[in-house]
Each structure stands twice: as C-alpha cells, then as structure tokens.
Chain A
Amino acid sequence: MSAKQPILTDGAWGTELQARGLGPDELPDFWNVAFPERVEEVARAYVQAGSEVILTNTFRANRVVVVERDPSADVAALNRAGVEISRRAAAGRARVFASMGPSGKLLIAGDVSENDLKAAFAEQADALAEAGADAIVVETMSDLVEARIAVAAAKATGLPVVACMVYDSGRNKDRTMMGVTPEQAADELAAAGASVIGANCGNGIAGYVPVCARLRAASSLPVWIKANAGLPELAQGRVVYRTSPEEFARHIPALVEAGAGYIGGCCGTDPEYIRAARAALARACV
C-alpha cells in the first residue's frame, strides 16, 4: 500500500541555538534581534537538510512570556525579525510556518486571564503575518482553551493555521497534561479554525504513531507530527537525548502509515535527524 508522501518539516531550534552559545536562561527569541546571523544559520541548516517547511524562532515571543524577561522589549519586532530570518534562509526553497507557543501560565489557576491571552496571541500573530509568514503553527499546547485562543488569533490574520498539542500524560501517554484527548483536540481545534491538526514534543516518536492514527481518524484535516528525540537526561553535566537519528527514522514508515501529512522533529533533533527522516521518507513512499 502506498501512502501519500508527507511534507518534511524541520527539527529543534532551542538546542541548536544553545550549541551556538545561547545560555540556558536566555530567551532564544531575543537572538532574532541580538544575533540574527546565528539564528539564520540554524534555519539554513534545516533547508539544506531537506526541510520543505521551516519554522521561526518565535516560539516564546508572546507578550506574557517576553515581559517577564524584559518589560521594555519590542514584542512585535522579535516576531517580525524571526519571520524575516527564516524567509532569508528559505530563499524560496522552503515555506516558512511561524511558531507560536504557549504562555506558560495556567488559565484555570487564574495565573493569566483569557483577555491577556487574546491580546498577546493577536499581537504576535499579526506581527508574524505582517512579516510574510506562509502559515502559523500553534504548538506545544496542553490546555484546549489557550490553544483555541491562539488558533483564533492566528486564523484572524487570514493565514492557514496548524494547531498541535503535547500528548505526554495519562496511562497510555495519549492525553495532554490537562487531560485532553486527540479526539477532543481534533474537534475543538478544527472548530477554532485550524487547517492542520497535530502533536509535537511529547515522550518520543514511537508514542506518536498511535496519536497520529487517532487524530487522522477523528478529523478530515491533514495531521502534523513533530516528535522529540526521547526525553532529555543529564549525563556528566550535559543534556543528552537517547534517540539517535537512525532510530528516529525507523519510526517514520509507521507514521506515514498512520496518516501523517507533515513530519519533523522537536526537542533534541537536529539537521541529522531531518536528513535521516528524508531518506526514510524516500524509501517509504516509492
């Protein structure tokens, strides 16, 4: 049986920027203005590895997160610079999907209000769209209410929206931290305006094969999967991810079979993983 060839996306940015000198307590998004050439290097490495879609270094560039670090930071400028960097690196060879991550605050605990989130995500989405992103990716969400607010803000720009959550909890690691199932997410994210639904981060690629199949079964929308290279461990003071590029790539055929329309990596993956995934896709989809 031959499945439709999925689109290859990119791997992690944070760990790649750390390899280029980003400190553990620095917000990566500030580098869009401070060290744009280093950020562009990461983006370009993914284009060269074969990514057909690259993201932007704007995952945490929403007002709720940014002002905790620097109340005077120009949030819109960080987002615009992020898109411009990825567009330069893509140079027409890859599409640029701009990244929007969570606020890091819990609505249900009253740490942030829905109005604050609406304003923060609208500000970010507008800046990303204005700078010329091809689409917006709302990612690493665990709360459906927050995810819906971000998707609606992204949708309001007129761009297509990818919406994905992190499934890392529950007995079968098929729920988000807030208890959301793939089926609930598929329904509600589509209703909020997503054109693609998906899963990212999590506990590793193997666990995302059944999650992918369930998202596919629950919705007619394409499915986006970006798994990490296992969970990080600390060995002799260094962070290591145990899944190798080869092992990561071994799960690609199963993801294709499960109906993934977009495949890439999350934490711990680098251009080597994308190269390995590209080779695996070429073998799986002949």
Chain B
Amino acid sequence: MADLKKLYDAILNGDQKTAIAVTEAALAEKVDPQSLINEAMIPAMNEAGSKFECEEYFVPELLLAARAMKGSLALIRPLLAAAGAEPVGRVIIGTVKGDLHDIGKNLVASMLEGGGFEVIDLGADVAVDKFVAAVKERNPHLICMSALLTVTMPAMKTTIQALREAGVRENVKVMVGGAPVTAEYASEIGADGYADNASAAVRKARELVAA
C-alpha cells in the first residue's frame, strides 16, 4: 500500500529525497499516479501555500516544498503523458521590460509547476514583443507578468495593449503581480487577475484557466 501520508509530509517538509523515494515505491506497486497527485501532492502544496500565506512558512520553506513536489512530478509526468493526460494549463511567465528582479517571478513559476502547470519562463526584462511572440507561438492559457519596481509597472499595461493590437488578447488570460502591484492596478490596466503572493497565484491561475 502506498504511503500517501509519508509523501504528503515529505512535500510539506520540503524533503525531496523522501518524496522521490516514496513516489518510486508507490509507482513500483502500480499505484495510480493521478491519485498520488490528487490525494497527497496537491494537498501538501496547498498546505505549504496556506502556511506561507499565514506567514508560518517563508520563502525557503516554500521553495523546498516546491522542489520536493517537482522531484515527484518528474517521475509521474512521463506516465501521465503516456496515458494522454494534459497538464492543468500552459503558462508563459516573465518579469516586465526594464525590471531585472526575478526572485518573485521564479517563486511563482516554481509554485505553478508544483501545481501541475506547464511553465514557459521568459526570464526577466522581457520586451513587449517577446511576450506577444511567445503567446502567438506557444498558445498558452495564461500569461503572468511580474514587476518589483513602481517605475516598471506601466510595462504591464503596454504589454496588454500590444497583445490587443496583435489580435491575441482574447486567446489568453493575463495575470499580474509583484510588490507594488495591487488588485486595483490590475483591473485598471485590463488584466484578468492579480495575486498577492506565490501561493495565491496558483489558486488564481487555476481559476482563470478553468473560466
């Protein structure tokens, strides 16, 4: 019998070695990979996220949990793909033009991957055209933009306008975040969603992709 509780604890405690070992053992016993994800891994990441949001966990604990999750997912993904299962959604993420800060963006990318999304990371200081080209080429469900600087935030608006002008705005949902960004600003510039932290970002992404 697969030890779901042990897998849950390993991910919550950021213990990648144990998470991988338990996953391997479970797969050897022919446990349904989807049930590992749904019954242990996603609940563990949700709990890690809620500990982060109530500030019991900080960035290191969250990153370690996401890393443990990714370790297990790497074993499970090929099996799911072979069975024809699709990722939760495809996301393009980047820090906007003029802004080289990527810690927050990387954290969100990690959490989204842990949440079962396929994540295409364009990096930091991403030009407007690069976002638009990536949307055209990769056809994502969601595009996530990050800014740490108040002065670079307006690049989010410019990018949304460029998506509109390129005729692809309706094909994709837009989510924004970063220290100076607010829900009011997100709606003012015509984004579909805003998240205040990396854990809330996963929740919001699921909501936007399902909508």
Contacts and interface: CB of A to CB of B under 8 A. Distances in A.
Interface of A: 18, 24-25, 65, 68-69, 104-106, 108-109, 111, 169-171, 175, 177-179, 231-234, 237, 239
A234 B58 contact: no
Nearest to A69: B100
Nearest to B99: A25
B90 interface: no
Contact of B149 (A24, A171, A233): A24
Contacts of A178: 58-60
B100 A234 contact: no
B152 A232 contact: no
Interface in B115-161: 125, 149-154
B194 to A, nearest CB: 14
Contact of A25 (B54, B57, B103, B125): B125
A177 B54 CA distance: 13
A134 B55 CA distance: 39
7 A-B pairs closest in CB distance = A179-B58, A25-B98, A24-B151, A232-B150, A239-B150, A170-B55, A171-B55
Nearest to B124: A68
Max chain B CB contacts within 10 Å: which of A111, A169, A232? A232
Interface size class of B (residues with CB under 8 A): 20 to 34
Contacts of A25: 97-99, 125, 152
Contacts of A111: 102, 106
Interface string B42-86: 000000000000110111110110000000000000000000000
Contacts of B153: 234
B173 interface: no
Which residue, A24, A170, A171, A237, has most C-beta atoms of chain B within 10 A?
A24
Nearest to B148: A104
A25 B147 CA distance: 12
Contacts of A108: 59-60, 63-64
A61 B180 CA distance: 24
Contacts of B57: 179
A8 B59 CA distance: 34
B204 interface: no
Contact of A233 (B54, B107, B152, B180): B180
7 contacts: A25-B152, A65-B100, A104-B100, A108-B59, A109-B106, A169-B58, A232-B180
A239 B152 CA distance: 10
Nearest to A25: B98
A112 to B, nearest CB: 11
Nearest to B151: A24
B55 A169 contact: yes
Nearest to B154: A237
B98 A24 contact: yes
Nearest to A18: B151
A177 to B, nearest CB: 6
Given A24-B98, A25-B97, A104-B100, A234 B59 contact: no
Contacts of B16: none
B95 to A, nearest CB: 11
Contacts of B58: 169-170, 175, 177-179
A234 B63 contact: no
A232 B150 CA distance: 7
A143 to B, nearest CB: 8
A25 B180 CA distance: 16
Contacts of A65: 100
Contacts of A170: 55, 58
Nearest to B66: A109
